Amino acid sequence: MEKELQLFISNSNAAEQTFKGRLRKLFLVDKLSNTTGLLILLLLSAGLGALIAYQGIIAGALIIVLMIGPPFVYSIVVYPQFGITVLLMLAYLLFFVGRLGIDFPLGTVMDGIQGLLILGFFIRQKRNPNWTMFKGPIGTMILIWIVYNITEVANPVAESRLAWVYTIRAVAIVMLTYFVFMYQIRTVEQVRFILKMWIGLATFAALYAFKQEFIGFSAAEEAWLYSDPNIKELLFISGHWRKFSIFSDPVAFSYNMVVSSILCIALLSYVKERWKKVVLTVLTVIMFTAMLFSGTRGAYVLLPAAMVLFVILKFNKQVLIGTAIAGVGILFLIMVPTTNSNIVRFQTAFKPNEDISFQARKNNQKRIQPYILSHPMGGGLGATGAWGQRFAPQSYLANFPPDSGYVRIAVELGWIGLAIFCLLMFFILREGINNYFSIRNPELKTYCMAMLLIVFAYNIGNYPQEALVQFPSNIYFYLAVAIINITKIIDDKEQIRKARLEAPLESTL
């Protein structure tokens, strides 16, 4: 037997050497001796070199896009796991790449990737039809919300239809990714990978904020900071720059740090290995500290609020001890005398009546209430903010600062739109709580709880700021909503599988 095995291995090695010899001859002899092929390759190389020499880096970038574009598009449509990974990574790195000096419509690229994922979703539905994600309360409310936003194009009091065109992209396309996530994420391994990537990207963002705080901004970031006086007015406070890390602004950065630290805290309640607990604890501290660099008062209250729900959902001795320690730490930060501008700004978040900006927002909201009550469909999608100033600068709402996701909805979509949105959030939270208590798999139960806490934090944060309009929060919010239901679906399948395996055993007994 041993001789036969040696003979087989010897013959395999000989066959492998013969194959390598033929391959080498094919590429190094036959192809390189082809004069026509070599001439075409030479002319093509010379043409591309001349194009880059005369047109510069733009031509080089265009050539690269043409080379990798078609395979990239094909991969996103045919391999949705790859497309989802690219989408989630670019949602984090979009503005970081943009500040490197790449003059390219990166927002359009994100829209394109989401569109390709939606296309792949419908193509796969032809082969494996599954429309159950549209039937649940969350799916139904999302469809109602999208349809309502589409009907806003006919809002009779809207000042600009063009503002609607630019705004509907951020509403309809982003929310449709919920159905893509629901359909394409099917296993616990996929959920694990996504959460690990989420934590990895958040860690990079937190460490980059430390670099901005203690080393300084890059040349491109400084050029952006001084490009507009309004930017300096918003970000330079009390002689200190608010940090934004790799994101568009300090608000998006701070909210991301909060929800990522919530994810780490939730996972702490599940992992057993000591080294994992240490890593997650360190990452939570890093992200929370990085959040302080942002100077965003609205983010500071989110972690304590989420911890209250965390204690209610997972009421046990370890959680009580952990949250008590964290509560003492936060209380110390609130009460300790300090001259550190980051901690001082953190302390003012828990004293809203002493905050001038908070009072200004309350006054603005009071001023706009009569308009909201008298306009049930609002002033039209995109009526406020940048799009309102661009397309209808003469309108009443163009210069109104909503400073709140809920206020923006009430102003642009009316009290009808606000009611629909609040119902959507209610059903998401209700579904998350129900799923958490019905899921039996401890790992899936933890993931569901983490996403529920994140959605809860985003909802609270959507009142003092616009929490769900900027990358990556807009994408990751609906990812969290989808995982709330995905964990339940996976757990149900596991329970059915276990029941089938146990049934024959019980019958034999």
Secondary structure in 3-state letters for 396-451: CCCCCCCCCHHHHHHHHHHHHHHHHHHHHHHHHHHHHHHHHHHCCCHHHHHHHHHH
Alpha-carbon dihedral 366, 371, 372, 373, rounded to 10 degrees:
100
Q: Answer whether 385's CB lies under 8 Å from 402's CB.
A: yes
Per-residue model confidence (pLDDT) at position 126 = 83
pLDDT at 106 over 90: no
Per-residue model confidence (pLDDT) at position 250 = 93
pLDDT at 188 over 80: yes
Indicate the SS3 state at residue 328: helix
Quickly state the pLDDT bin for 17 (edges 50, 70, 90): low
What are the tens digits of pLDDT across the range 110-165? 888 999 999 999 888 888 888 888 888 999 999 999 999 999 999 999 888 888 98
CA-to-CA distance for 325 and 333, rounded, in angstroms?
Answer: 13
CA dist 64 → 60, 115, 439 (Å): 6, 22, 47
Among 12, 159, 72, 146, which residue's Cα sits nearest to residue 424?
Answer: 146
What are the tens digits of pLDDT across the range 54-64? 666 666 666 66
- What is the pTM for the complete model shown? 0.84
What are the tens digits of pLDDT across the range 469-500? 889 999 999 999 999 999 999 999 999 888 88
